[in-house]
């Protein structure tokens, strides 16, 4: 559905996007992530044909975004980060207007209006002025606008920005349901939503693609075995700490003691849970917890982009 080859965008001497390459298959929900200024929005604007690239190529449904821009746009529904909506139009009037602009046949506009209002839960506000709507409903109107002409590809730039937790959950569920009929490229800063929604993650940093993989593979590849929590009741905590440090592949160890229990946070190159269990049995320690922490997408993002605060 999307094929990008050496796509570049320069503003004078500043390179915002630097020869990126990636592909998105039909039916995928791909999270497009990166810190502020990494080139996310610039890339999405180029793919949406709003911004011409400096060099390189990109195809949408087989159509080049530069040579066949109009044909490519027929297959794209784009929702920008800040949806520009007229305040003095009613929801249904605006969506009819947008459907006509996007070439929806007159005989089908009523049907498409009903479909997107149902999908985006806009039926109760369809006759209200857009200016009187809450932020959540305005985001839904923007999403309905992106979908009105039945595009194969939806490009959504921060679709949940400014929404409360309940509204975010509703939009997340909607995006999941849209996968049956659309390919989705999604940019967001809410990384937990990406973990629950996306089949693949692309991370861009300083204008370059750093990684493209599933969240599961990223956890395995980037954080190896992760952190191990080990909580024991040992007669001699200092001796227990020394014995744990002698285990192979232990990189670092931190401990915290509460009454008779010592809680260890262990970083290791391999999964040491079996070794820790065997050590506890040998030493006759009582074990209250032995678990492996799985890295979150937030931790992976920080590691890849070399930032501690995202």
In the listed set 163, 193, 221, which residue is the last one of a domain according to the structure?
A: 221
State how far the Cα of 7 lies from the Cα of 16, in Å rounded to an integer: 11
Q: Same domain, yes or no, for 189 and 254?
A: no
What does pLDDT average to in each consecutive run of 10 residues of the chain (310 residues)? Answer: 95 94 93 89 92 94 91 93 92 96 94 92 94 90 94 90 79 81 87 83 92 81 69 94 92 90 89 92 95 76 63
- Mark whether 217 and 237 lie in a shared domain: no
Choose one of 157, 186, 221: the last residue of a domain.
Answer: 221
Residue 303 maps to a domain: no
Flag whether 7 is in a domain: yes
Q: Give the pLDDT of residue 223.
A: 52
Considering the domain architecture, whether residues 58 and 9 belong to the same structural domain is answered as yes
Spell out the SS3 assignment of the chain.
CEEEEEEEEEECCEEEEEEEEEEECCCCEEEEECCCCCCHHHHHHHHCCCCCCCEEEEEECCEECCCCHHHHHHCEEEECCCCCCCCCCEHHHHHHHHHHHCCCCHHHHHHHHHHHHHHCCCHHHCCCEHHHCCHHHHHHHHHHHHHCCCCCEEEEECCCCCCCHHHHHHHHHHHHHHCCCCEEEEECCCHHHHHHHCCEEEEEECCEEEEEECHHHHHHHHHCCCEEEEEEECCCHHHHHHHHHCCCCEEEEEEEEECCEEEEEEEECCCCHHHHHHHHHHHCCEEEEEEEECCCHHHHHHHHHCCCCC
Evaluate whether residue 112 is within a structural domain: yes
Backbone angles phi, psi at 48, to 5 degrees: -85, 0
* Structural domain includes residue 214: yes
Alpha-carbon distance of 269 to 206, in angstroms, equals 29
Say whether both 13 and 52 belong to one domain: yes
Is residue 308 a part of any domain in this protein?
no
Instruction: Please indicate, yes or no, whether residues 207 and 266 belong to a single structural domain of this protein.
Output: no
Specify whether 59 is located in the same domain as 165.
Answer: yes
Q: How far apart are CA 309 and CA 305, in angstroms?
A: 10
Residue 282 CB burial class (10 angstroms; 0-12, 13-18, ≥19): exposed
Query: Are residues 72 and 183 both part of a single domain?
Result: yes
Domain end (from 221, 250, 278): 221
In this structure, the answer to whether residues 205 and 236 fall within a common structural domain is no
Q: How far apart, in whole angstroms, are the C-alpha atoms of residue 165 and residue 168?
A: 5
Q: Are residues 183 and 54 in the same domain?
A: yes
Identify the domain containing residue 253 by its residue range.
Answer: 227-293
| pLDDT at residue 310, rounded to an integer | 40
φ, ψ of residue 59 in degrees (nearest 5): -120, 140
Same domain, 193 and 271: no
Domain membership flag for residue 306:
no
Q: CA of 268: how far to CAs of 95, 119, 224, 308, in Å?
A: 55, 47, 9, 21
| Sign of the Cα pseudo-torsion (162, 124, 85, 146, in order) | positive
CATH number for the domain including 44? 3.40.50.300
pTM: 0.77
Do 70 and 95 share a domain, yes or no?
Answer: yes
N residues, the chain: 310
Structural domain contains residue 161: yes
Q: At what angle do helices 106-119 and 91-101 cross, to 10 degrees?
A: 130
Classify residue 79: in a domain, yes or no: yes
Is residue 189 located within the same domain as residue 237? Answer: no
């Amino acid at each position: 559905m999307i094929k990008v080859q050496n796509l570049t965008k320069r503003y004078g001497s500043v390179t915002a996007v630097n020869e990126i390459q990636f592909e998105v298959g039909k039916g995928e929900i791909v999270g497009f992530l990166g810190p502020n200024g990494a080139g996310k929005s610039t890339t999405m604007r180029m793919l949406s044909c709003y911004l011409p690239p400096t060099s390189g190529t990109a195809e949408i449904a087989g159509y080049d975004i530069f040579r066949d821009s109009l044909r490519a746009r027929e297959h794209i529904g784009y929702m920008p980060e800040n949806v520009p909506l007229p305040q003095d139009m009613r929801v249904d009037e605006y969506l009819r207007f947008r459907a006509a602009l996007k070439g929806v046949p007159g005989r089908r506009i009523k049907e498409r209006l009903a479909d997107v209002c149902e999908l985006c839960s806009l039926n109760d506000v369809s006759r209200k002025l857009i200016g009187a709507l809450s932020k959540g409903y305005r985001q839904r109107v923007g999403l309905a606008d992106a979908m009105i002409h039945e595009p194969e590809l939806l490009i959504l730039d921060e679709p949940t920005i400014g929404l409360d937790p309940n509204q975010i959950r509703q939009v997340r569920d909607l995006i999941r349901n849209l996968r049956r009929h659309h390919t989705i490229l999604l940019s967001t800063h809410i990384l937990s939503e990406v973990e629950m929604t996306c089949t693949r993650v692309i991370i861009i940093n300083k204008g370059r693609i750093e990684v493209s993989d599933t969240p599961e593979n990223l956890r395995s590849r980037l954080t190896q075995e992760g952190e191990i929590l080990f909580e024991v009741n040992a007669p001699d905590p200092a001796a227990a700490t020394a014995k744990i440090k002698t285990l192979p592949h232990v990189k670092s160890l931190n401990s915290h003691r509460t009454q008779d229990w010592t809680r260890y946070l262990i970083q290791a190159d391999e999964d040491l849970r079996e070794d820790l269990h065997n050590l506890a049995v040998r030493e006759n320690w009582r074990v209250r917890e032995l678990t492996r922490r799985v890295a979150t997408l937030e931790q992976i993002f920080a590691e890849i982009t070399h930032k501690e605060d995202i």
